[in-house]
Amino acid sequence: NAGVMQNPRHLVRRRGQEARLRCSPMKGHSHVYWYRQLPEEGLKFMVYLQKENIIDESGMPKERFSAEFPKEGPSILRIQQVVRGDSAAYFCASSPEKDTEAFFGQGTRLTVV
């Protein structure tokens, strides 16, 4: 059983471009969580999704950021018109149920130049 897979591992974007980060949860996991880790900081919750539903997006910036978890395929975190302050590591975690252990992926490190 493969772990949580995130791709790409590293992503470089110029200011104003779009960034799309993908997360494939572990097999049998239908709950996905996205976290952002700014340099020298801990992880901050962004959004919690179940298949086709956003459950809690209280940590998502109000503009330019969106997330989805379609019925088929990976969860996608989309950042439009990236700015330098979006440079961070973005981690995805998945769990089979909302109150069971979540497993983290290796993260996508986004650099905005």
The residues binding other proteins (CB under 8 A) are 4, 31, 33, 35, 40-45, 48, 56, 91, 93, 95, 98-99, 101-102, 104-107, 109
For Cα atoms 47, 85, 95, give the angle at the middle one, nearest 5 degrees: 20
Q: Tell me the closest approach of the beta carbon of residue 61 to other proteins, in angstroms.
A: 17
Q: Tell me the closest approach of the beta carbon of residue 103 to other proteins, in angstroms.
A: 8
Pick 13 or 31: Cβ nearer other proteins: 31
Pick 43 or 82: Cβ nearer other proteins: 43
Pick 10 or 15: Cβ nearer other proteins: 10
Phi and psi at 17, nearest 5°, equal -80, 175
Q: Tell me the closest approach of the beta carbon of residue 16 to other proteins, in angstroms.
A: 27
